[in-house]
């Protein structure tokens, strides 16, 4: 297989877990894997992509590329495609990735497939499997164009961790004023040790918690598990929790290995944002709560009795 280019997305100088998944996905495809990274990133962090399967990293360290300006990233990636002669571009599916992928596809005349969940089947064409309808169905797509862009769904592949250090080369894309016509004037970042979109474990609470004063046990359980905290839309609408913790179709869509829903009834909009999780656990005193139909495991009981016991059990296992 020919050269594969991977867009490695970073935050505060660190590569996202999903970007390491994208590099690992490309490595599993075979061929020469080159990653492209933008902004202020330490040499050791750039080299670490080799552990995930990248042989080389092109680094454009211009400070103007720290903010994630979509048009500038798309232009730079198009030039990286030309420089490396890559026929395939891989990136993680994210809010930034989605916007860049569409523009890049138009620039280089490529076929685009998002939410990809498995490696391409090249036995008869170039067929990728995509998750659709909020992860309720799958579709196989034959990508017929010469150049192809694949946006990989979170947690679709295991991260490769048996490589070495990647070679890092300076990359200086030719960017003009039109690439920075949109100015980012303010960025509000979610707070917390573990950010919700990147979390592998999530503990989420709903109106069953009865008020913001009872959120300590959600945070304690999350802390013991090393998980991020989330909430249902009504909780964020009432101001119990910040809006960046709102999980659901109109909030943050998550795909962790484990999602624990406490006191959340399971409205269809919430389920649409969490049903890509590998394991769903529901804790609710209402045995008819819709969440139980989607959950892999369920506990019918009062959260104020169940959660403290669960915290004690996790603490005991951590000792």
Question: Binding site membership for FAD: which residues?
Answer: 207, 263-270, 284
Residue pair 168/47 in contact by the 8 Å Cβ criterion: yes
Classified as helix, coil or strand, 58 is strand
What is the distance between the alpha carbons of residues 263 and 211, in angstroms, rounded to a whole number? 11
Written as six digits, the tokens of 168 are 């890092």
* Residues making up the binding site: 207, 263-270, 284
Q: How far apart are CA 274 and CA 135, in angstroms?
A: 9
The C-alpha R_g of the chain, in whole angstroms, comes to 21
Q: Name the nearest CA neighbour of 8 among 108, 107, 77.
A: 77
d(CA 91, CA 83): 18
Q: Strand pairing partners for 203? A: 229, 260
From residue 266, alpha-carbon distances to 102, 146, 261 in Å are 33, 43, 9
- Taking 3-state DSSP, the helix, strand and coil percentages for the chain, each rounded to the nearest 5, stand at 35, 25, 40
Query: What pairs with residue 11 in β-bridges?
Result: 14
């Amino acid at each position: 297989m020919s050269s594969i280019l991977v867009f490695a997305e970073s935050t505060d100088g660190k590569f996202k877990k999903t970007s390491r998944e994208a590099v690992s996905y490309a490595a599993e495809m075979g061929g020469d894997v080159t990653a492209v990274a933008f902004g202020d990133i330490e040499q050791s962090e750039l080299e670490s992509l080799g552990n995930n399967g990248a042989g080389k990293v092109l680094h454009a360290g211009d400070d103007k590329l720290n903010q994630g300006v979509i048009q500038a990233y798309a232009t730079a990636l198009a030039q990286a495609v030309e420089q490396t002669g890559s026929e395939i571009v891989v990136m993680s599916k994210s809010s930034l990735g989605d916007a860049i992928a569409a523009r890049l596809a138009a620039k280089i005349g490529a076929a685009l497939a998002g939410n990809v969940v498995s490696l391409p089947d090249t036995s008869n064409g170039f067929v990728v499997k995509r998750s659709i309808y909020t992860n309720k169905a799958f579709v196989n797509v034959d990508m017929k164009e010469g150049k192809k862009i694949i946006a990989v769904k979170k947690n679709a592949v295991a991260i490769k961790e048996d490589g070495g250090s990647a070679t890092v080369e300076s990359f200086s894309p030719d960017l003009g004023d039109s690439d920075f016509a949109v100015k980012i004037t303010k960025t509000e970042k979610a707070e917390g040790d573990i950010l919700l979109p990147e979390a592998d474990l999530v503990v989420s609470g709903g109106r069953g918690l009865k008020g913001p004063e009872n959120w300590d046990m959600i945070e304690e359980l999350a802390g013991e598990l090393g998980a991020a905290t989330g909430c249902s839309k009504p909780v964020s609408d009432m101001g119990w929790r910040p809006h960046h913790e709102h999980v659901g179709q109109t909030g943050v869509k998550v795909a962790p290995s484990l999602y624990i829903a406490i006191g959340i009834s399971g409205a269809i909009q919430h389920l649409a944002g969490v049903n890509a999780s590998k394991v769903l656990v529901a804790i609710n005193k209402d045995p008819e709560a819709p969440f139980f139909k989607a959950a892999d495991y369920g506990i019918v009981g009062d959260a104020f009795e169940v959660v403290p016991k669960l915290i004690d059990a996790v603490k005991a296992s951590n000792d």
